[in-house]
Amino acid sequence: MVTGQRTHRFGKDRWRGNGLSSADVSERVRGGLTNLVSNASSRSLWDIFRANVLTLFNAIVAGSFMLLLALGRWQDALFGFAAVGNAVIGVVQEYRAKKSLDRLAVLNSPHARVLRDGAIQDIPTAEVVLDDVILLFAGDQVPADATVYDANGLEIDESLLTGESNPVDKAPGSEVLAGSSVVGGQGRAQVVRVGDDSFAGKLTAAAKRFSLVNSEIRTGLNRVLRWITWGLLPVMAVVVNGEMHAQGGWSQALATGAWKTAAVGAVASVIAMVPLGLVLMASVAFALGGLRLARDKVLIQELAAVEGLARVDMLCLDKTGTLTEGKIIFDGVHDAGAAPVRGWKEALGWFGADPNANATARCLAAVYKYDGGLRPASSVPFASSRKWSAVSFNEGSAPGAWVLGAPELVLEATTPGHVRALASAGGLASSGLRALVLAHAERPMADREADGAALPSMLVPAALLTFREKIRPDAATTLAYFREQGVDLRIISGDDPRTVAAVARDVGLDSTDGYDARELPENPELMADVLQNHKVFGRVTPAQKKAMVAALRSRGHVVAMTGDGVNDALALKEADIGIAMGSAAAATKAVSRLVLLDGRFDRLPGVVAEGRRVIANIERVSMLFLAKTAYAIGLSVVFGGLLWGFPFLPRQLSATDGLTIGIPAFFLALMPNARIYRPGFLKRSLTFAVPAGLIITAAVLALNTYAVMAGVYGEDSVRTGSVMVLALVALWVLLVLSRPLNRWRLLIVTSMYAGLLALLTVPVIADFFGISWPPDELRNAALLAALGGCAAVELVFRFRRRRNN
């Protein structure tokens, strides 16, 4: 978009009669003054690839993988597949988020009606240019920001943009916004802003900033990976030095080629330190959680959002489209304080069936049927300047003149018969209902009255009518669930505070008249104080919604925000978890983490339950992986410092990892788990994993010390003994973390013990993994070291559980 749009001035008035000419349109297209919206997001595919693949961490893993292939040790390079899987999942996940952002589109209508060269043309929305004359009819979506210069009962629904649920009357000189919808009347307008400069375009551009959901699990794992990345090089140096000395020193190892054996040992220690499967397992658990929710019509835009909602302690709700369905429905008839007037129901039937009726009057058609018997002598259509419509019948069941409109404009406060009706209407309006009055005059309308210049004379209030927004049937029970779970609630809307408060009361949330956001302080600290003390807010602007979410987060809350309008997009983007309803604008869905495809609010408790399952299970399996990292670092440092060779081959560690971590972790991560979320995932994981890893290190070290002191055992036998010790103690770690045991968890653990037995005894498997059955003395020493390690792990587990309780 060229900057000329803001400075160029065309003679607008002369274009109105016949619209723009083809030459005028071409001139604007050349100047870039079209309705195209830029699609660039803040992250390119190269940026995503570089962030997930070209890292020091991956360079070390890839270097180790290539070294083993160069040495012909492909059996020891199995870890490469897990590393590739991690990188692919990361790239695909972020690329999907980027594509979602790039597809942002506020306008759902593919075409617009414009007046060009004196003729009406249907053109794609993107081809609308500055100064185009657009024609607006009921059901149309406004393609660009425009100024109205001709209107006949024109009503615009701007709820997607501003949050105001009531249709807005548009008179000549007023402005209509791109993305809003025409719900009544018709009009013509001249485009004043297009593309990225439109109101919706600016909101969309602000929402396009790339960001990942705030995930404690992902943050914790990334922190561990950073620690490991920085520790890899110095630890690797220690291990390489120890391996070379174990082969007779640097000179001899280089001269004899023994350095190849040293390199394999160094790679084994380095790869053992890397919890490759943990990131993969977390992604798999999130993905399967997303698939489960997809069956319930819940779309997960980003995998970690499954975790996010389980951590939420503050839920902010937009009213229109979230708690309500965004539709006005007829509420009821109330006494107007006068004697009943014959034919009032028939008159209401006519108003509901009138083709020129506004959205509110059309609600009457569902209750009061019009059979076509009444023939109006004259009628006055609804207009925003009048706030009323009228009809006159000379004969039939409802003779006389009938007026339907705002009580304060139809009735006179000085007329004795109107006072009671006005007082009743005021009371109804203060409760959040929309009130209209049906008034009757015995004489049909005079000519000047039929022209719309004045109300019929001698009006008598016949009935007070109230209308309200249709509340979602699942809203009250869902909010009750969140209150029971300790989640605080805030209702934030662009609508009148009284209306918002009335809806809040209907869904079971105690509220007075609501807080008018026009009085909300701009200072974030003062705003946060107001948000702590009030629960319902009205007249909130899109910028205020975003600021309110930020203020709540500044007080340590994990905030979820629901919405369906473009006016909610910035707040949804700011929230920890943005939740869009199925009826939401395309832009709102694209920036949300979760989309309730069928619009059912009662899906959220199921999302919370799924998130809790994922968090609790990932925390369980993370202790397995982090314990492995702890003992890998411990073994590398200790054996390297002692100048001993690393006690495992890479393939042996791949086998023990699969039996003690990889295979069981996959099943444990998918099992039911209803534990309520508690902050501190990483701290809890490390307080068990580190001691458990050090215990395994000590047990393996004890066996190798015995073997060195005995001096009679071969290298393969000592490695097999080390495999036995590591696997048995690590399986005990699996056993204690699987508690409380049930039938399926017990089956998993016993299957892994059976797998270990097969690894040690089945010849084909043992030969592939370099297993050589040790002599009786060494085997007994290994079993004794393993027994001591299991006992120590049990003590650590019991102490930690007692402390956490």
pLDDT tens per residue across span 526-583? 999 999 989 999 888 878 888 999 999 999 898 999 887 666 777 888 888 888 887 7
Architecture in CATH of 296-325+473-607 = 3-Layer(aba) Sandwich (3.40)
Q: According to the model, what pLDDT value does residue 429 have?
A: 78
Q: Which CATH class is domain 277-290+610-804?
A: mainly alpha
Handedness of CA 55, 57, 63, 68 (dihedral sign): negative
pLDDT, one tens digit per residue, over 446-457 is 776 666 668 888
Q: According to the model, what pLDDT value does residue 617 have?
A: 80
pLDDT, one tens digit per residue, over 47-86 is 767 766 766 566 667 766 776 666 666 655 656 666 676 6
Q: Are 538 and 511 in contact (CB under 8 A)?
A: no
Task: Please check the confidence at residue 100 and state whether its pLDDT lies above 60.
Answer: no
Q: Are 54 and 62 in contact (CB under 8 A)?
A: no
**Residue 426 or 37, more confident:** 426
What mean pLDDT, rounded, does the chain reach? 80
Task: Please check the confidence at residue 103 and state whether its pLDDT lies above 60.
Answer: no
CA distance 258 to 246: 10
Q: Which of 293, 321, 324 is nearest to 306 (CA)?
A: 293
CA distance 186 to 416: 38
Q: Is 122 helix (H, G, I), strand (E, B) or coil?
A: strand
CA distance 513 to 498: 5
Token pair of 564 as six digits: 């369906």
CA distance 205 to 570: 10
Q: Are 625 and 663 in contact (CB under 8 A)?
A: no
Q: Is 341 helix (H, G, I), strand (E, B) or coil?
A: coil
If you ran DSSP here, which 8-state letter would residue 42 be given?
A: S
Q: Which CATH class is domain 4-33+106-206?
A: mainly beta
Q: Are 184 and 167 in contact (CB under 8 A)?
A: yes
Cite the active site residues. 318
Token pair of 414 as six digits: 């000085």
Q: According to the model, what pLDDT value does residue 699 have?
A: 96
Mention every residue, 6+ apart, whose C-beta is less than 8 A from residue 614: 285, 286, 289, 306, 307, 310, 669
Architecture in CATH of 331-468 = 3-Layer(aba) Sandwich (3.40)
Q: Are 564 and 320 in contact (CB under 8 A)?
A: yes
Q: 272 — alpha (psi -120 to 50), left (phi > 0) or beta?
A: alpha
In this structure, are strands 133-137 and 181-193 parallel, antiparallel, or unpaired? antiparallel
Q: According to the model, what pLDDT value does residue 684 have?
A: 84
Tokens 């994922």 sit on residue: 614
**Helix-strand-coil percent breakdown of the chain, rounded to 5?**
55, 15, 30
- What is the model's pTM? 0.62
Q: Which of 570, 376, 330, 276 is nearest to 470 (CA)?
A: 330
Q: Which of 118, 85, 88 is nearest to 16 (CA)?
A: 118
CA 503, distance to chain mean position in Å, is 24
State the chain's maximal CA–CA distance in angstroms: 121
Q: Is 142 helix (H, G, I), strand (E, B) or coil?
A: coil
Q: According to the model, what pLDDT value does residue 52 have?
A: 65
Q: According to the model, what pLDDT value does residue 451 have?
A: 65
CA distance 662 to 755: 13
**Residue 203 or 174, more confident:** 174
Q: Which helix (DSSP H) or strand (DSSP E) does residue 28 occupy?
A: helix 22-30
Q: Are 195 and 1 in contact (CB under 8 A)?
A: yes
**Residue 215 or 332, more confident:** 332
CA distance 381 to 209: 46
CA distance 586 to 109: 11
Within 13 Å and on the Cβ side, how many CA atoms surround 270? 33
Following DSSP, what letter does each residue of 666-691 receive, concatenated?
A: HHHTTS---PPP-S-HHHHHHHHHHH
Q: Are 363 and 467 in contact (CB under 8 A)?
A: yes
pLDDT, one tens digit per residue, over 635-679 is 888 888 888 877 887 778 878 888 998 788 878 877 777 666 676
Q: What is the rounded radius of gyration, in angstroms, for the C-alpha atoms of the chain?
A: 36
